[in-house]
Amino acid sequence: MFFTYLRRELRRRHKAALVVASGLALGIALVIVVDSVTAGMNRAQGKVLESLYGLGTDMTVTKEPSPPGEGDAVRRPRFRFDAGEDAQGERQSQDVVMVQGFETLAASTVAQVARQDGVAEAVGGLNARVMKVDGRFERGEVRPAEPGGGPGRGGADVRGGGADFGVDSYTVYGTDVAHQGLGPLTSSKITAGRTFRAAETAAKVAVVDSAHAKEQGLAVGERLTVSGTAYTVVGIATADSGDAAADVYLPLAEAQTLADAKGRVTTVYVRATDSQRIDQVKGAIGENVPGTTVTTSADLAATVSGSLSTASGLAEGVGKWLSIVVLGAAFAVAGLLTSAAVGRRVREFGTLKALGWRSGRVTRQVAGEALVHGLIGGVLGIGAGLAGAWAVTAFSPTLTAEPGGGAGGGAPRFAGGAGGGGPVDRAASRALDIALTAPVSLTTIGLAVALAVAGGLVAGGFGGWRASRLRPADALRRVE
C-alpha cells in the first residue's frame, strides 16, 4: 500500500517533485564541484612540493639556525691562482665546493630520527654548490712613451694584459645510494643510462640533470670533473615538473669528501608510517632530537604563492561557504515546498485519517515521498557535479606556483639549512606551471548521496510534522 500510494503521488505531482529535486540537485552539484576542485588544488600543491624534495617525503629535519653572532663564522670561497712568469697566457681553473647554508648535522642524526615513534624511514642528504672559476692571465706589452707627453712621459707605457676569468656555478646533491626511496632525486626520472647502484656508496659515478647535461654537453659514459676528481656519468635525470632539485647527483660519501663535510649531512628526509601522524612525529623529533628544525609538507605548502595559491584560497574559503549557503537554502526550500504541498492535500489526509490511518502512517507517507524527491535530486546533482568537474578539468587555465615565495619572505629553508640553499632555494625564484584537475572520489559521491538523503529527511520532517497535526473533522470541512 505504501509504495502503491507513493507511485501514484509521484506521477500525479511530478512537477512539484521535480522542483524540489532540482533545488536539492543544485546544492549537491555545487558541493561536488567545490570538493573536487579543492582536491585538485591539493594535488597540484603536492606536485609543487614533490618537485622540491621528491616523492614520499612527509617532512625534513635540518639544523636549527644559530642566533646572530653565534656559531662558526661563515666560510667564503677563496680562489688561489699562480700569476708567476710561467703562468702567463695559460688557462687556469679551480673549483670550490661549499655546503649550501653552511649548516650541517652529524650523520648519526639520521639514525636518531629513524628511531622516533611513527617514522617509517629516514634518509640523509648533503646539498652543496660548486663555484668554478676559469680563465687566464695575459702579460701586458711595454712600449716607449710617445713624444709630446702623456701618461708614460719620460718613461714607458704598459698596454694590454690583465686577467680574464669567468665564474660558473652549479648545485650538487649527495644521495644515500643504499636508500634511494627518499630525497630530491625521486622527483626526476632517469631518461638515459641508469641510476645509482646500492653498492656504489664510494664510486666515482654521477647522475646529471638533463638541462645541465645539455648545457655542458655531457652524455652517459662521459667524464665530469668536480674539484679535480673525475666522475663517470652513468645516468641522465629529467625533472617530472619544474626545475630539478640539483644539477649533479653524487653518492653521499663522495659529496661529503668534496665539500670537506665527512660524516655530515644538511638534510634528513623523513617518511611517516601514517599521514595522520605527521604532526605527532614532528613533535617527537623536535623534542627528542635537539638542535634541529622540523619542516612538514604542510608548512611548505603555506609558502606557495602565485595563482595556484589564490585559486586554492578561493576554493577552500569562498567556494566552501558558498556551497554551504546554497545547500542550506536548497534544504529550506525543499522543506517549505513539501510543507506547502501538504497544505494543499489537507482534505486527502483528512479522509485517510477518517478511514483509519494513524498520524504516524500519514507522517511516514509524506516523509517517504520527500525522501524519494531527495534521492532523485541526488541523482541529478551527482550527474551535474560530475559534468562540472569534467568541465573544470577540460577547460581550466594553467595555474602558476612559486615555491617558497610570498610577501612575508619567511619561507622555510626546507632542504638547505638556515643559510639558504637546497631544493627550495633553487626553485624559489622560478614559477611552476600546474594544470588544474578536479578529481571526484568515491568519498565525494558518498557525501552527495548522504546530502540527498538528508535533504529528503529535512523536507519530509517539515511536511510530516504538519500532516500529523491534522484532525479528520477539520480536514474534511476544508475544500482543496
Task: Let me know if residue 156 belongs to a domain.
Answer: no
Residues 110 and 197 occupy one common structural domain: yes
307 dihedral zone (left: phi>0; alpha: psi -120 to 50; beta): alpha
Q: What is the DSSP string of 314-346?
A: HIIIIIHHHHHHHHHHHHHHHHHHHHHHHHHTH
* pLDDT at site 73: 45
Residues 365 and 223 occupy one common structural domain: no
Residues 40 and 72 occupy one common structural domain: no
- d(C-alpha 407, C-alpha 396), whole Å: 26
Residues 366 and 449 occupy one common structural domain: yes
Residues 128 and 236 occupy one common structural domain: yes
Residues 203 and 231 occupy one common structural domain: yes
Residues 121 and 188 occupy one common structural domain: yes
Residues 13 and 130 occupy one common structural domain: no
Q: Residue 454 is part of which domain span? A: 2-52+307-477
Residues 85 and 175 occupy one common structural domain: yes
H/E element holding 248?
A: strand 248-251
* pLDDT at site 17: 74
Pick from 238, 257, 290: which residue ends a domain? 290
H/E element holding 169?
A: strand 162-175
Q: Within its chain, how far is the Cα of 412 from the centroid?
A: 15
* pLDDT at site 295: 84
Task: Let me know if residue 317 belongs to a domain.
Answer: yes
Q: Within its chain, how far is the Cα of 78 from the centroid?
A: 38
Cβ neighbours for 169, distance < 8 A, ≥ 6 positions apart: 129, 130, 131, 132
Q: Over the stretch 164-182, which tens digit does the pLDDT of each residue have?
A: 566 778 889 999 999 888 8
Q: Provide the CB-side half-sphere exposure for 22 (13 A, CA).
A: 6
The answer to whether 251 touches 175, Cβ cutoff 8 Å, is yes
Domain count, the chain: 2
* pLDDT at site 114: 93
Tell the burial category of 193 from Cβ atoms under 10 Å away from its Cβ (0-12, 13-18, 19+).
middle
- d(C-alpha 350, C-alpha 363), whole Å: 13
Pick from 290, 324, 343: which residue ends a domain? 290
Nine-digit cell string for 259: 665539500
Task: Let me know if residue 297 belongs to a domain.
Answer: no
Task: Let me know if residue 172 belongs to a domain.
Answer: yes
Residues 329 and 209 occupy one common structural domain: no
Residues 113 and 260 occupy one common structural domain: yes
Per-residue pLDDT of the chain (480 residues; tens, 9 = 90+): 666 766 776 677 777 777 777 877 888 888 888 888 877 776 766 666 666 666 678 888 988 876 655 544 445 556 555 555 555 556 666 677 888 776 889 999 999 999 999 999 999 999 998 887 766 656 656 666 565 555 545 555 656 556 656 677 888 999 999 988 888 888 888 999 999 999 999 899 999 999 999 988 999 999 998 888 899 999 999 987 666 778 999 999 999 999 888 999 999 999 888 878 888 999 999 899 988 988 886 676 665 555 445 555 555 555 566 667 777 777 777 777 776 766 666 677 767 777 777 777 777 777 777 788 788 888 888 898 899 889 888 887 666 655 554 333 333 333 333 334 444 444 444 556 667 777 888 888 887 888 778 877 777 776 666 666 666 666 556 544
Task: Let me know if residue 58 belongs to a domain.
Answer: no
The percentage of the chain sitting over the pLDDT mark of 70, rounded to a whole number, equals 61
The shares of helix, strand and coil residues in the chain, as percent rounded to the nearest 5, are 45, 25, 30
Residues 25 and 76 occupy one common structural domain: no
Q: Provide the CB-side half-sphere exposure for 388 (13 A, CA).
A: 19
Task: Let me know if residue 235 belongs to a domain.
Answer: yes
- d(C-alpha 392, C-alpha 261), whole Å: 50
**Exposure pattern of 294-318 as b/e (b: 16+ CB <10 Å)?**
bbbbeebbbbbbbbbbebbebbeee
Q: What is the DSSP string of 83-128?
A: -SGGGBT-EEEEEEEEEGGG--EETHHHHHHHTSTTEEEEEEEEEE
Task: Let me know if residue 252 belongs to a domain.
Answer: yes
Pick from 260, 290, 320: which residue ends a domain? 290
pTM: 0.59
Task: Let me know if residue 214 belongs to a domain.
Answer: yes
